[in-house]
Amino acid sequence: MSRRDTNGSTAAQGLAEPVSEDDHTRGPDDAAVTLVQYGDFECPNCATVHPIIEQLLDRLDDDLKYVYRHFPLTEVRPNAKQAAEAAEVAAAQDAFWPMYDRLYEHQDALAAEDLEAHADALDLDTERFARELDENDHEDRVRADFESGIESGVNSAPTFFIDGERYEGRYSFDALLDALVDAGDLSNVSRATPDGGGASRDDLRETLDQSERGAPAAGSAVRDRFSADEIFQRVVATADEEFSQNKRLLFLSGLAAGFAMSLSFVGVAALTALLGGDGSASAAGYLLYPLGFLFVVLGSYQLFTENTLTPVTLVLTRIASIPALLRIWGVVFAANILGVAASAYVLANTGVLSPEAAAAASEIGHHFFELSWADIFWKGVFAGVLIAGMVWLIHAARDTAARVLVVFALAYAVGAAELAHCIVGSAETLYVVFNGEESLWAFLTHFLAPATLGNTVGGVVFVALLNYSQTRDRRIQNRDCRVLELGWSEWLFGNHIGRPITPSFPESEDDSAEAD
């Protein structure tokens, strides 16, 4: 995957060093299409791709020429460079591909003694192998591959080039096969998934396909359910999109969300008035409280309380910095408040609401001014838990009907329990302010501050952190988090999304001597 800069753009380059007779290749030189991989023997994603490459070679046969080049990321993988050199030592004994297979199949055994054991298992001259490995006889070859990758814009492994053009798609068999078939114009090649089950590719896509950002479309264990890791990947895909949007689009989406959330207030006031306005009618009136949330979720608007979960996932993995998160929060929150304030002003100064609905709206708005700061805070915490939990469950749902049910149930619980949602509650309290019954200062200090703080604590601490803790180290599809992780100073003070790393090859003793 190409590096994403702080503005969310990506840079792709062609293959700088053409394939030559010095490369390690499989397949005929006159093959219809050439696939070049820059790989790292200690990289878990490269190990995942390894059997897929074997399937591609088997499927395309003489139509595919596969080229492997070394790209050891020594900054995060201490055994990567030595493993690459071990493959070159084996190549000197005409055993590059057997060693290549063995290293990927035994990725947890790449220490020096393990490498010698691999050489012995392959019936190599182990004394020669140990000597050449110890003396770094093949370091220059590994360095040459690495530097050619840098010239081609490679900064992570695996990275692929198809007929010299960088491949930016997913690393699945189907996606790579599609790209190779299209590049080589191989109309005679079947694109069916090699599962032997006879299912059509279109049928499999519905359950197995993944989005271009790596989020799974169906569970790996049970097809209609997701594991915590898979839900997390879907949340991360949403977060990636949010971080990629510019401020103008974020603001406009947040403005639309603010206006939409005021519809929850309008619906509750209108239905409460219609049903008589007593206590039981008010409880029934909250049946329309989910209205604004449905607009936001199904319309994909930006809502602050949803943002206590989605962008936080990239911050927890140290792929996005805290200042980058605060930028998104600030833009979305300001837009939400402006949108809901404009709607509340119109409602308070026009005849949109009937007299009965206006009276119910005023009573609803006064409710929060009658509570203490601490009460609003704790009501905000529980509202934050429910709304952030709603976002998590939405990403676990597979269809729109399930999402609607989740939104309705949890949003109704927030309303019926009279919890403090900072955006909907702002519509309620600002309506009273614009009627001249309370001050703007009271709105800001007595409601907005404790409700926002409570929503944030509930969403981040009790949902984002707890769900994050259930996931494994390999949380993001097709990405190595150790490569993307920001340094602590970048994470705390920078404005980065994805670590701006510049991979480097470690200097050898000879290089150091020449430098002196």
pLDDT in tens, 284-302: 889 999 999 999 999 989 9
Please answer whether residues 360 and 272 qualify as being in contact, where contact means their C-beta atoms are separated by less than 8 angstroms: yes
pLDDT over 70 at 511, yes or no: no
Split at pLDDT 50, 70, 90, the class of 201 is very low
pLDDT at 421: 95
Q: Helical H runs in 209-321?
A: 228-244, 247-274, 279-285, 291-299, 310-316
pLDDT at 470: 65
pLDDT in tens, 108-141: 899 989 999 999 999 999 999 999 999 999 999 9
User: Sign of torsion, CA 245 250 252 257?
Assistant: positive
Split at pLDDT 50, 70, 90, the class of 204 is very low
Q: How far apart are CA 193 and CA 178, in angstroms?
A: 11
Angle at 27 between CA 26 and CA 31, to 5 degrees: 140
The percent of residues in the chain predicted with pLDDT above 70, rounded, is 82
pLDDT in tens, 95-104: 999 999 999 9
pLDDT at 294: 95
Please answer whether residues 58 and 196 qualify as being in contact, where contact means their C-beta atoms are separated by less than 8 angstroms: no
pLDDT at 486: 66
pLDDT at 497: 64
Split at pLDDT 50, 70, 90, the class of 462 is confident
Q: How far apart are CA 339 and CA 296, in angstroms?
A: 13
HSE-CB at 373 with a 13 A cutoff on CA atoms is 8
Concatenated DSSP letters for 76-135?
Answer: T-TTHHHHHHHHHHHHTTT-HHHHHHHHHHTTT--SHHHHHHHHHHTT--HHHHHHHHHT
pLDDT in tens, 57-102: 999 999 999 999 999 988 778 899 999 999 999 999 999 999 999 9
pLDDT at 184: 86
The count of residues in the chain is 516
Split at pLDDT 50, 70, 90, the class of 307 is confident
Lowest mean pLDDT: which of 117-131, 193-207, 270-284, 348-362? 193-207
pLDDT over 50 at 402, yes or no: yes
Amino acid in position 124:
L
Q: How far apart are CA 106 and CA 362, in angstroms?
A: 69
Between residues 194 and 46, the one the model is more confident about: 46
Angle at 337 between CA 287 and CA 454, to 5 degrees: 70
Q: How far apart are CA 229 and CA 475, in angstroms?
A: 6
pLDDT in tens, 464-509: 777 677 665 544 555 555 555 666 777 777 776 665 456 777 776 5
Lowest mean pLDDT: which of 148-157, 201-210, 241-250, 316-325? 201-210
Distance separating the N- and C-terminal Cα atoms of the chain = 37
pLDDT over 70 at 336, yes or no: yes
Split at pLDDT 50, 70, 90, the class of 194 is low
Residue 156, φ and ψ in degrees, nearest 5: -155, 165
pLDDT in tens, 34-54: 999 999 999 888 988 999 999
Split at pLDDT 50, 70, 90, the class of 212 is very low
pLDDT at 239: 79
pLDDT over 50 at 33, yes or no: yes
The β-bridge partners of 497 are: 320
Average pLDDT over residues 253-266: 95
Lowest mean pLDDT: which of 219-228, 260-269, 419-428? 219-228
To the nearest whole number, what is the mean pLDDT of the chain? 83
DSSP 3-state assignment of 222? coil
Token readout for 448 is 């907005």
pLDDT at 87: 96
pLDDT at 289: 95
Residue partners of 263: CB distance under 8 A and separation at least 6: 291, 292, 295
Please state whether the peptide bond connecting residue 323 to the residue before it is cis, i.e. omega within 30 degrees of 0. no
Q: Among candidates 219, 228, 211, 214, which has minimal Cα distance to 477?
A: 214
pLDDT over 60 at 205, yes or no: no
The percent of residues in the chain predicted with pLDDT above 90, rounded, is 58
pLDDT at 143: 94
Average pLDDT over residues 370-395: 93
